[in-house]
């Protein structure tokens, strides 16, 4: 049988031949190879990261482990973790930590509740054409440079000339010492933050609401659901992952919150509106305590990393849903 079928005889031989044949590999030339091209595209980014991100980070960690002044950077004394330990007993730092947390909790809560309400209004009015323009206009506070927001706030909240006190006066109320009062100063910062960031949260939630399929809402209506059932059992659960994302993005932003407070209250009165970034700035550039300032910066960084890790996880979950 096998002698009739030529392929059976020649099969193994042919395989052996091709296997033993030398593989002629094309040697890539240095200037045309994929590897070179990849490198060419990558090095600017790598250099950028190295010089502007990695080096400052390592340098500040290094500085945080020393007693050192900005005016005499060459005279460093090894401190180990002493700078971190002193932070934990520094009343100003602890106040900054508390205030940052307080600002985060209060402003994000208000922004989410208000943002959801605003998103819902835009969602219900989405079929009307003029709403599109309004929606874009609503995003303006988010686009203004934080420094400008601070300057605007200075005018708006000015006790004598500010528009808010003018309006309060016109309505028969007594003027409020906005940035000068321990309680009102915090409320002012909260109001500014809410004004600036609610649009961002609202737009995220609006996108979430828009992505709920119409037929699901119709199915719920046929199932007997009233508006409150739809709100609490369909809409809110559906946008919950988006709300989580908004909360985390805002947390990162609150940790970096600096410009507005620097322009308006400077952390005062006393330490009532002191936040982590402002504390770090003052240590580094007002008191020249670079070691302590760097330690505070590292703490901010660690907090950011923790928050970002959660953010990535939640983003993944949204992707998979």
Partner 1 sequence: MGAVQLVGINKSFGTAKVIDDVSLDIRDGEFIVFVGPSGCGKSTLLRLISGLEEPTSGRVLIAGQDVTQAAPAERQISMVFQSYALYPHMSVRDNIGFGLRIAGFSREETRTRVDEAARMLELTPLLDRRPRDLSGGQRQRVAIGRAIVRSPQAFLFDEPLSNLDAALRVQMRMEIIGLHQSLGRTMIYVTHDQVEAMTMADRIVVLRSGRVEQFDTPITLYDRPANRFVAGFIGSPRMNFIPVSLSEGELIDAGGGRIRVEGRSPDEMRRATVLGVRPEHLTYGSEGGVWSGRIRVLEQLGSDAFLHVTVDGLEAPLVVRASGERRLREGEVVSLSPRPGTVHLFDQDDHAIGAPDPAFRPSRAA
**Structure tokens given for 312:** 């990535």
CA distances 280 to 17, 62, 258, 271, Å, are 73, 16, 10, 14
Comparing C-alpha atoms, which of 268, 93, 242 is closest to residue 182? 268
Among 105, 218, 252, 317, binds partner 1 (CB under 8 A): 218
- Is 223 a residue that touches partner 1 (CB under 8 A)? yes
**Structure tokens given for 139:** 């995003």
- Is 319 a residue that touches partner 1 (CB under 8 A)? no
- Is 233 a residue that touches partner 1 (CB under 8 A)? yes
CB-side exposure of 284: number of CA atoms within 13 Å? 15
- Is 221 a residue that touches partner 1 (CB under 8 A)? yes
Cβ distance to partner 1 smaller for residue 305 or 321: 321
Among 71, 127, 226, 319, binds partner 1 (CB under 8 A): 226
- Of 89-97, 170-178, 227-235, 277-285, the window that binds partner 1 (rule: CB under 8 A) is 227-235
Among 11, 33, 237, 270, binds partner 1 (CB under 8 A): 237
Q: Where are the alpha helices (DSSP H) in 256-289?
A: 259-263, 276-285
**Structure tokens given for 5:** 């079928």
For residues 243 and 314, give the distance between their C-alpha atoms in angstroms, rounded to a whole number. Answer: 10
**Structure tokens given for 204:** 């995220």
- Draw the binding track, 156-195, toward partner 1 (x: CB under 8 A; -: no contact): ----------------------------------------
- Is 6 a residue that touches partner 1 (CB under 8 A)? no
- Is 317 a residue that touches partner 1 (CB under 8 A)? no
Q: How far apart are the first and last CA of the chain?
A: 60
User: Which residues here bind partner 1, judged by CB under 8 A?
Assistant: 213, 215-216, 218-226, 229, 233-234, 237-238, 321
């Amino acid at each position: 049988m096998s002698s009739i079928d030529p392929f059976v005889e020649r099969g193994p031989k042919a395989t052996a031949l091709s296997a033993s044949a030398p593989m002629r590999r094309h040697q890539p030339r240095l200037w045309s190879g994929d590897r070179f091209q990849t490198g060419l595209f990558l090095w600017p980014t790598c250099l950028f990261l190295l010089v502007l991100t990695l080096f400052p980070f390592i340098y500040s960690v290094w500085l945080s482990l020393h007693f050192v002044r900005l005016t005499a950077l060459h005279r460093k004394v090894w401190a180990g973790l002493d700078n971190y330990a002193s932070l934990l007993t520094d009343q100003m730092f602890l106040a900054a930590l508390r205030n940052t947390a307080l600002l985060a909790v209060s402003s994000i809560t208000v922004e989410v509740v208000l943002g959801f309400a605003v998103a819902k209004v835009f969602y219900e009015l989405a079929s009307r054409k003029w709403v599109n323009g309004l929606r874009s206009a609503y995003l303006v506070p988010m686009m203004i440079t934080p420094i400008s927001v601070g300057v605007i706030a200075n005018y708006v909240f000015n006790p004598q000339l500010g528009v808010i006190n003018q309006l309060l006066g016109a309505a028969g109320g007594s003027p409020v010492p906005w940035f000068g009062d321990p309680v009102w100063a915090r409320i002012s910062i909260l109001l500014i933050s809410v004004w600036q960031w609610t649009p961002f949260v609202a737009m995220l939630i609006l996108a979430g609401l828009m992505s709920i399929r119409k037929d699901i809402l119709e199915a719920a209506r046929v199932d007997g659901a009233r508006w409150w059932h739809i709100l609490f059992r369909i809409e809110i659960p559906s946008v919950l992952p988006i709300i989580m994302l908004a909360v985390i993005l805002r947390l990162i932003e609150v940790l970096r919150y600096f410009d507005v407070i620097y322009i308006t209250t400077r952390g005062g009165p006393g330490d009532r509106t002191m936040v982590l970034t402002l504390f770090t700035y003052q240590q580094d550039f007002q008191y020249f305590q670079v070691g302590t300032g760097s330690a505070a910066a590292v703490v901010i960084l660690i907090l950011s990393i923790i928050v970002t890790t959660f953010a990535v996880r939640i983003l993944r979950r949204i992707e998979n849903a």
